[in-house]
Structure 1
Amino acid sequence: MTRPTSARPLAVFDIDGTLVDSRASIHQAATEAARALGLPDPHYDRVRQIVGLSLPHALAVLEPGLTPPELDRFTAEFRASFGRMYDAGHEEPLYPGTMETLRRLHRDGWRLALATGQNRRGVARNLAREGWADLFISSHCAEDGPGKPDPAMLHAAMTACGADPATTTMIGDTAHDIGMALAAGAHPLGVAWGFHTPEEQFAAGAHHVAIDFPDLEAALARFASDRLAA
C-alpha cells in the first residue's frame, strides 16, 4: 500500500561534502583566488570550515581583513577558478554509494530535495548529472535567500515538498547544515566523509553522524519508523 504524500518523509540533502566530493576543487579554487590577490595559500583546515556558507560570506570568514572591493575580487577569482576547471572538463566525483542510496530512498517513497551553499549555476550543473533531475522534487541554494545556517532554504524545501518539520530530516556534512536543521525544527543528520569532523557536527547538535551510506540509510529508516509511529 502506497503511503499518502503527506505521510512520506522528506530528506533534504546538502551537496558539497555530502553527495559530491568537492574537497580538492574547493581548496584549489580558494588557493588560486588567494594567489590572485597576493594572499598566502590558505590551509585546507581553514577552507573546510567555511564550506556550506554562501560564497561571499564564506570568503569573508576565510579572509576577514579584506575590504569590500577586495572581497568582491576574491569572490570573482574563486568563481573564475571553478570556471577554468569546468572548461577543462572537470567534474567532482560522487561519493561511492551516493546514487544507490538516493535511488533506494526514492523507490521507497521518500521525498528528496537539495539545500546547498552553491549558487544556482552550480545546482543546475549537478542536476544535469544522470538521473538527478528525476530524484529531487526541489532544490534550494544561497542565491535564493539567506544562506546556512539560516533556516530559509529548509523552510522553502518543506513548502515545495508539502512537508513539515516533524517529517523532515536534513543530511549534511557541516555544522552549518546541522544549525540550519535545528533552526527549522527538522531532524539533523550528519555524515562523516565531508568537510567537518563528526565531533564538530555532534557539537553543533547532530543526532547521528553516519560513517557510510549504509549507516545513513539505517538512520533514515529509524527516522521514518519513528515518524510513522508518532
Structure 2
Amino acid sequence: MMTELRLAIWDVDGTLVDSRESIHNVMVEAFRQSGLTPPEYDATRRIVGLSLHEACGQLAPGASEDDIERLVTDYRSTWVRARARPDFSQPLYDGALETLESLRNEGWLIAMATGKTRRGIQSLFELHKLEHFFDTIWCADDGPGKPHPHMVEQAMDALGVEPGASLMIGDAIHDIAMGRAAGVRTLGVSWGFGAAHELEEAGAHEVHHAFDTLRGSVLNFNPVSKDTRG
C-alpha cells in the first residue's frame, strides 16, 4: 500500500456511466415540451457537463430567458419520469468497476466532480452501488460548474491533496479545461461524449481509448512537486 496521498477525480456521465442515449433522449423531449426545435445528438454531446442553464442556453441560443427557464424545468421533470420507467438504463462502462476497485485497493483517494445534481447522483447510486468508492463528491449543486475549477479545487481541499498528486479523469473538453485550470494532470477518455481529437485539442495530458490503459496509467502515476497548470 502506498503512503503518499494520491487523488483520482472522476467525471461520471460518459466516463464511468454510459448515459449518452438517455441524456440526449431527455433533452429532445424537454425541447419538445417547451415548443422548441430539439437539438441533434452532436449538439447535445458538446454541452454535457456544463451547468443546466448554460447548457440549455447553448442549445437554444435564440431563446428568451423565460424560454430557458421553462426548458430547464421541463428537462428536470422529464428526467424524473425517465428514471421512474422500468426500462431506464445507464450501464457502467466495461472496466469502470474494476478500475475503481483497483484504485481503492491501492490506497488511492477517489473523488467525483460531476455536472449531475445531488438527486442525479442519488439515482446513480440506486442503479450502481458505487457510493462507497468516493471519499468526496462535488456536483452542480455545490457552486460554479465546469469548466470552472471549483469542483476539483474543493475535492483537493476536502482531502488535503496537492494538485501535483491529483488527476482529473473525464470524457469532455469541459472536464479537461476544469482540471487544467485547477493545475492537475488531465486524462481524457474517448468512449463518452467527447471525441479524441477534441480532448487533445483541449489540452488533455493523455487520451485513453480503453479502461485497461487508463487503469494502468493511473496506477503508475507519480506525483510531482509542482502543478501542471497551463
TM-score range, shorter chain: over 0.9
Aligned CA distance change for structure 1 residues 200 and 136 (closer, same or farther; 3 Å): same
Q: Does 1:165 align with 2:163?
A: yes
Question: SS in structure 1 opposite 2:8?
Answer: strand
201, 204, 207: which one aligns with 1:203: 201
CA deviation map 1:139-172 (0-9, x unaligned): 0001100000100000110011221100000000
- Counterpart of 2:89? 91
Amino acid at match of 2:63: L
Amino acid at match of 1:14: D
Q: Does 1:111 align with 2:102?
A: no
Aligned CA distance change for structure 1 residues 129 and 158 (closer, same or farther; 3 Å): farther
Task: Confirm or deny: 8 A CA contact 1:123 1:139 kept in the other structure.
Answer: no
Question: SS in structure 1 opposite 2:111?
Answer: strand
1:228 is displaced (CA, Å) by: 7.3
- Counterpart of 1:3? 2
Distance in 2 (alpha carbons) for counterparts of 1:199 and 1:186: 20
Q: Matched residues, percent identical?
A: 42
1:48 is displaced (CA, Å) by: 0.3
Distance in 2 (alpha carbons) for counterparts of 1:9 and 1:35: 45
Aligned 1:130-145 pairs, distance under 5 A? 130-145=128-143
- Counterpart of 2:45? 48
CA deviation map 1:61-93 (0-9, x unaligned): 111111111111101111111111111131311
Distance in 1 (alpha carbons) for counterparts of 2:175 and 2:116: 13
- Counterpart of 2:214? 216
Structure 2 residue ranges without an equivalent (≥5): none
Task: Confirm or deny: 8 A CA contact 2:24 2:41 kept in the other structure.
Answer: yes
Task: Confirm or deny: 8 A CA contact 2:164 2:224 kept in the other structure.
Answer: no
Report the count of equivalent residues: 225
Distance in 1 (alpha carbons) for counterparts of 2:41 and 2:172: 15
Question: SS in structure 2 opposite 1:12?
Answer: strand
Q: What TM-score, normalized to structure 1?
A: 0.93
Distance in 2 (alpha carbons) for counterparts of 1:209 and 1:141: 23
Structure 1 residue ranges without an equivalent (≥5): none
Distance in 2 (alpha carbons) for counterparts of 1:133 and 1:151: 23
Distance in 1 (alpha carbons) for counterparts of 2:30 and 2:126: 27
